[in-house]
Amino acid sequence: MERALDRWLGERRETLRRIAERGTYLDEEDVDRLLGLSLPGADELAGLMELTRLARESGARETVVEVVVDTAPTAHTLRLMEVPGLLQRFAGILDALGERHRILAESFGTGGRQPDLTDELIAEIEEEGREMGELLRDPARSSFAWVLLPEALSIAETRDALAALDETGIPVSEVIVNRVAGHPGEMEAIAEIRDVFGDRSLRFLPAFDREPRGLPALRKVAKALLDPSHGESLLKDREGAPSPAKRGRVGEGVPDWLADLAPPGVRLLFFGGKGGVGKTTCAAAAALILAEDREVLLLSTDPAHSLADVLDTPLGDDERPVPHGPPGLKARELDAYAAFEAWRGRHHDELGGALGAFAGESREAVEKLLDITPPGLDELVALSSILDAVLESQPGQPGSTTGGLVVVDTAPTGHALRLLEAPELVLEWDRALLSILLKYREAVSLGRLASELVELSKSLKRLLALLRDPARARFVAVSRDAELPRRETLRLLEELRRLTISVPAVIINAVEDGELLKVPPTGCAIITAPAVYPPPRGAEALAGWARTWLRT
């Protein structure tokens, strides 16, 4: 997808450069440097542009009738749906930057100004955003099927997601309940699903004995999907099935896996993996045990906000104690939009002054730039929060995590990796912006903004050094013993090796009694967490469950 965006930008680089040179006081070298930087949040932007292109072509090509899209997990799917508005706002910024040139050309030109490639590009971007938005909101051309599990956490996440999609006018045609095994507690969840989502089409898929892979197995899934009565009958057949039993007894003392995850000296411990494997539950359970002998901040960077549901307590964008948890444990769920709005409010005048100095008389462009929400906001805010928690807290202050441990519950795999790549990306932007500010220091008041860019550069370098130090930073991969999670875990481990981030252990979650594990060699400790139903919620249940984990 990023290659698609690079291709799109490459084809229009000259026109974008012309717009920037006409609408700002930046020279060609500065414009080229900025255009050459990677964009945060490029996945969503490139993804929806490519999907719109495919949908457009499907109407003109006999070989493509319909485009079926497997989206990213919840939060980043919702970010994907925001791309049309972002493109239209970007077109408005480019249009405002070109206004001064248009006025001069019309005033001093001969025969009036004729539209050129810059006008065509602005119109193209605006049309692209408008077309995307109309396509997504048109039930005759787009349908959205939401998939969830019959579990309390999945129900809560789905309720929030559907409310967000309804608000933007994107129709969700049906709700698919996957992996229904028919356990007694599970049937209570299904009753809640019927009550909460009963106004939409509901379909049920049973938990197959084997993971459905390959065409014959997928045809069985398709049959259950296309024939709702078939899915309902399978559901009835599963009713009353025994719940998976807890394996082993709750241990006493220090669990044997604790030293693998976070021995003394570790400051930053990430948990991540494929969506649906239970990474948030595992992160919370481990944090509860770790906080018994040290200060721990459990920080969720996943915009889906499942940590509060796992801990069964309200959380916000501040550090809060966990009821029935150790005194040393605090928990926090990031609110990226609120954090960005607060930052923008603090720096509005300085940013406006700096942008105004470069944008000349185009005050409209400055205001539109200040109003835009950047792509990749979740990763940018998460990075800032990790910097604050690990590097900038001061000893002796209330709630300080200095000398303690920050446990990070990340978004699913792709966006967890994007978070870990963010320090390098932000450092490139930081250096470029600081270089431009210094170059034009006679026209721009450097002020606090330049000082903060310098401090940000220092902090990013310290964070990069920390991430690459196995004695201080580690990443625990969470998986399940099924083929698709195994494959994604291996890709995750390979990417973490590329980033030189230490992986001390892989947690295989939801292992049932007597199950024969098929775990590939990973070069790190393997910890198995037993299947329980319903999944543990609340501090006491999570800590008790964590003590049943086994190091194999």
In what helix (H) or strand (E) does residue 439 lie, and over which residues does it extend?
A: helix 413-439
Look at residue 299 in the predicted model and tell me its pLDDT: 95
Look up residue 391 and give its two tokens: 């590097």
Instruction: Report the predicted TM-score, pTM, of the whole model to 2 decimal places.
Output: 0.85
From first to last of the 552 residues of the chain, give the pLDDT tens digit. Answer: 555 566 666 667 777 777 776 666 677 777 777 777 776 666 666 777 777 777 777 655 555 567 888 888 887 788 788 888 888 887 887 777 666 655 555 555 555 555 667 778 788 888 888 888 888 899 888 888 999 999 888 999 999 999 989 998 988 989 999 988 877 778 888 999 999 998 899 998 888 878 888 898 888 888 878 776 665 665 666 565 555 544 444 455 678 899 899 999 999 999 999 988 999 999 999 999 999 989 999 999 988 788 999 999 999 999 999 999 999 999 999 888 888 788 777 767 776 666 666 665 556 666 666 677 777 778 888 888 888 888 754 444 444 444 589 999 998 998 899 889 989 988 888 888 888 777 777 666 666 777 878 888 888 899 999 999 999 999 999 999 888 999 999 999 999 999 999 999 999 999 987 677 777 677 899 999 999 888 899 999 999 999 999 998
Please give the Cα distance from 380 to 243 (Å, whole number): 42
Please give the Cα distance from 314 to 337 (Å, whole number): 18
Please give the Cα distance from 351 to 449 (Å, whole number): 8
Look at residue 366 in the predicted model and tell me its pLDDT: 64
Look at residue 395 in the predicted model and tell me its pLDDT: 43
In CATH, what is the architecture of 145-180+182-238?
A: 3-Layer(aba) Sandwich (3.40)
Please give the Cα distance from 15 to 139 (Å, whole number): 35
Residue 454 C-beta-side C-alpha neighbours within 13 Å? 8
In CATH, what is the architecture of 258-338+374-422+468-551?
A: 3-Layer(aba) Sandwich (3.40)
Q: Are strands 550-551 and 320-321 parallel, antiparallel or unpaired?
A: unpaired
Domain ranges in the chain with CATH number 3.40.50.300: 145-180+182-238, 258-338+374-422+468-551
